[in-house]
Structure 1
Amino acid sequence: MNRLVAQLRGDKVIWAIVFLLALVSFLPVYSASTNLVYVIGKGSTLGYLVKHLGHLFLGFAIIYFVHKVPYHYFRALSIFGIPFVIILLLYTIFQGTTIGGANASRWVQIPFVGVSFQTSTLAFTVLMVYVARYLAKVSDKEYSFKDSLLELWLPIFAILVLILPTNFSTTALIFSMVCMLIFIGHYPLKYLFSVMGIGIAAFLLFLLFAKAFPDNRIFSRVSTWSARIERFIDNKPTDDDYQIEKAKIAIASGELYGLGPGKSVQKNFLPQSSSDFIFAIIVEEYGIIGAIGIIFLYLLLFFRFIITAQNAPSLFGKLLIIGLGFPIIFQAMVNMGVAVELLPVTGQTLPLISSGGTSIWMTCVAIGIILSVTKKEEEVALDEENKKKRDDALKQIIDRQIEENDTKEIEDESNNPLEPVLNQ
């Protein structure tokens, strides 16, 4: 175990927080899985726990191998990754996957494995790395809006357009995080505001097409998420009210200390209790204290991202940490906001805690890249420390040699038989 820990590089605090979040997830996922077992009649609680353990084990393996890769390699990988994810998103839209008889056009089946994969999460990670690469490249150059339109904004809007029909919440999350990263990367504000205006106009045009062709399979989920937003703004009854009401009952039942591990009642009535609404189950079983503990871990991770970004060895590394780390925290806040009805139902999971392979794996990819950047920072500090040690050792050797030479000269003078004569 000590040998394994010794091989871990990068920021140890981030490693520790990620491990704690993963460890915290086991009991809530195990408890909430009874909804699928006894209500839906699917699988066993132990089976779901083992499945979740497998997802986390593979996730930590991903972190380990990704953090071993020098982070500047991802600069080139993002260039090839953009056309790959665009093709993958096109395939995802038209292949028409269904899961349990429901439309699940956000997912693709991995051949020969039987595992479903949500392609938008991969596109999110690749796009953030690509944007960080571009901003780092042009940081010391003069460029116009036209120059950035083709190389920066065209890939961004291409990916957003392909994700929007099936997943508005992820599209909104990606666009907001891209704008945040571009703002931090000192992209001219007048250009950014122009793009935001173009984006809003394109979104309204998309809604017009969706209303004009409601039966088109591409727009099959537009009515669902648009109705959620309209009803949330107008405070009208919605099909999601059942989930929200059960989530609020679970949170209210938890009070200060909670009902205890595994004693949640609402997990038997709350759909997606082990994924989208797992925060409500945590509060019901562990109370406000448990909720504060979860929030504290995410905030600690957030502050650690800020610290490591400030100490990053390059602008690209700084933007990588911000672009990949901040969305993890923002997604967690969105998930919690939905559970307490601050936001409409979005389908965003609680990173590293909710069950689900794709969310865990892509979060682990992002964390692995961040640790790769902090590993470089650690290596630079270690090199400086070793250099200082070498310089100190060399100085000691030189001082010792000078001292030995001075001693030898004194001895030679004292042993010289002609010295008394010379002195006369």
Structure 2
Amino acid sequence: MKELISKLKGDKGIWSYVALLALFSFMPVFSASSNLAYLGHGTGNTLGYLVKHFVHICLGFAIIYWVHNIPYHYFRAISKAGLPIVWILLAYTLVKGTVIAGANASRWIQIPFVGLSFQTSTLAAIVLFIFVARYLSKTRETPITFKSSLWELWAPVFITLMFILPANFSTTAFIFAMVLMLVFIGQYPMKYIGIILGSGIVFIVLFWGLSKAFPDAKLFSRVRTWESRIENFIGNKAGEDDYQIEKAKIAIASGQLYGLGPGKSVQKNFLPQSSSDFIYAIIVEEYGLIIGGFGVLLLYMLLLVRFIIASHKANTLFGKLVVIGLGFPMIFQALINMGVAVELLPVTGQTLPLISSGGSSIWMTCFGLGIILSVTKKEEEIAKEKLDKEKREEILQRLIDKEMEADLKEVDSKGGIDDFDANDYSITDNSSNPMNAVLK
């Protein structure tokens, strides 16, 4: 175990909190999968879902370990080359996407020969965030202008979002908000951000208007769902989402402070998305508001603190923006999921990172974490090299001091120090000093 831990590079705090969230996820997923186990006249045995989640988590940590060994600056070029590939995948999903049991939107594609499904928007978000970080960290001879950034930055952003929007408005809005946050932190001019935000709102209104003009078009089939969710949240009418929210609130109220106990949730049998979108409600019902509610929230907040520290320590602007661009969305996604469960926000379909069941969401979260850890690993290596250099110089200085002391005694024993020169022992340029070979 010690040997395995020694091979894990990067921020140990991030590793620890990610591992705690992943370990904690097994009991809620095992318990909350009962409605899926009964779906379609099943037996109700959730062991298969637990094993499936275990495999997803193991593959996720393998992704973290593999990615965190890749120098993070490689992803600068990968993000630019990867965007066209992402657009092709998103277009294919839009046309040939499949529906996963329990969901009502075509957001997944089937991976041939392995029987796995993959949500392409999760990959698109990561590639896009790195692409934006790359643009903001570029060395320029002249300041950023709106005209240049419109084609180099915003055109790729809007193309990506246009492919995601018809099937998933909440993810589109979430990615757009995170991009705006990233460009704000990257000191993109505020007046340009205002123009882009206004353009985004105009585009959404235009899209909604076209859906009214062509209500039978497949491209606008999800618009009615968006409208109903907003109406349900405002309280004008009841619907399926209202049913889910009511069951989630009943689950949270039933849990009270200390919970009903692991596996004793009642509402898991009624919530359609109890193991994914509404798993937080099941956690509070079974583990209570203190351990389940605030405990999970505390872990995400601690992870956020580690992201902030990692970003501060990064010695390149690209590294800082990558940590922010990939780390902060994970935390905001968790907060959105919790906000939906307690009806602070309308139903969005955002999962709870590292806890909710699902393959592609876990893998893409782990992929992002691997890149963040790659940034922190590089900073650790730089700090270690600096510390090693300081230690070598300190040891070398001690050896020189001892040699000087011995020579002084020898000179003093001969009756004078006129021929003694301290410059012979300088370590200003110790690269050619033979003692370095001993120290190395």
Task: State the TM-score, normalizing by the size of structure 2.
Answer: 0.91
| 1:11 and 2:17 matched | no
Aligned to 1:422: none
Bigger Cα displacement from structure 2, 212-221 vs 136-145: 136-145
Bigger Cα displacement from structure 2, 49-58 vs 223-232: 223-232
| CA deviation map 1:228-264 (0-9, x unaligned) | 1233235421221111111111000001100000000
| Residue 226 of structure 1: how far off its partner (Å) | 2.6
Aligned to 1:108: 109
Aligned to 1:189: 190
CA distance in structure 2 between the partners assigned to 1:268 and 1:101 by the alignment: 13
| Residue 351 of structure 1: how far off its partner (Å) | 0.4
| Residue 400 of structure 1: how far off its partner (Å) | 2.1
CA distance in structure 2 between the partners assigned to 1:31 and 1:310 by the alignment: 39
CA distance in structure 2 between the partners assigned to 1:102 and 1:28 by the alignment: 19
| CA deviation map 1:357-382 (0-9, x unaligned) | 11111111111111111111111111
| 1:298 and 2:315 matched | no
3-state SS of 2:184 partner = helix
CA distance in structure 1 between the partners assigned to 2:141 and 2:170 by the alignment: 34
CA distance in structure 1 between the partners assigned to 2:267 and 2:120 by the alignment: 31
> Which one-letter code corresponds to 1:28 in the other structure?
P
In angstroms, what is the RMSD of aligned CA positions? 1.7
3-state SS of 2:117 partner = strand
CA distance in structure 1 between the partners assigned to 2:257 and 2:102 by the alignment: 40
Cα 1:23–1:205 shift into 2, 3 Å: same
CA distance in structure 2 between the partners assigned to 1:274 and 1:191 by the alignment: 41
3-state SS of 1:137 partner = coil
Bigger Cα displacement from structure 2, 231-240 vs 35-44: 35-44
CA distance in structure 1 between the partners assigned to 2:162 and 2:283 by the alignment: 35
| CA deviation map 1:49-94 (0-9, x unaligned) | 0000000000001111111111111111111011110111111111
Aligned to 1:180: 181
Q: Contact 2:232 / 2:242 at 8 angstroms: preserved in 1?
A: no
> Which one-letter code corresponds to 1:187 in the other structure?
Y
Aligned to 2:95: 94
Cα 1:341–1:235 shift into 2, 3 Å: farther
Bigger Cα displacement from structure 2, 167-176 vs 234-243: 234-243
Structure 2 stretches lacking a partner, 5+ long: 417-440
CA distance in structure 2 between the partners assigned to 1:105 and 1:202 by the alignment: 22
> Which one-letter code corresponds to 2:27 in the other structure?
L
> Which one-letter code corresponds to 2:358 in the other structure?
G
Aligned to 1:26: 26
CA distance in structure 2 between the partners assigned to 1:96 and 1:352 by the alignment: 24
| Residue 138 of structure 1: how far off its partner (Å) | 5.0
Aligned to 2:424: none
CA distance in structure 1 between the partners assigned to 2:364 and 2:22 by the alignment: 14
CA distance in structure 1 between the partners assigned to 2:341 and 2:162 by the alignment: 28
| Residue 223 of structure 1: how far off its partner (Å) | 1.6
Aligned residues: 414
CA distance in structure 2 between the partners assigned to 1:101 and 1:326 by the alignment: 28
Structure 1 stretches lacking a partner, 5+ long: 415-424
> Which one-letter code corresponds to 2:377 in the other structure?
K
| 1:228 and 2:229 matched | yes
CA distance in structure 2 between the partners assigned to 1:203 and 1:267 by the alignment: 35
| CA deviation map 1:247-301 (0-9, x unaligned) | 1110000011000000001111111111010000000001111211001001111
Cα 1:397–1:102 shift into 2, 3 Å: closer
Q: Contact 1:313 / 1:376 at 8 angstroms: preserved in 2?
A: no
3-state SS of 1:354 partner = coil
| CA deviation map 1:212-238 (0-9, x unaligned) | 222222222222123212332354212
Q: Contact 2:102 / 2:273 at 8 angstroms: preserved in 1?
A: no
- Identity among equivalent positions (%) equals 64
Cα 1:159–1:341 shift into 2, 3 Å: same
| 1:207 and 2:208 matched | yes
Bigger Cα displacement from structure 2, 170-179 vs 298-307: 298-307
> Which one-letter code corresponds to 2:260 in the other structure?
L
Aligned to 2:435: none
Aligned to 1:69: 70
> Which one-letter code corresponds to 2:26 in the other structure?
F
Picking from 315, 318, 323, the partner of 1:316 is 318
Aligned to 1:153: 154
| 1:253 and 2:254 matched | yes
3-state SS of 2:110 partner = strand
Cα 1:34–1:101 shift into 2, 3 Å: closer
Bigger Cα displacement from structure 2, 157-166 vs 201-210: 201-210
| 1:36 and 2:31 matched | no
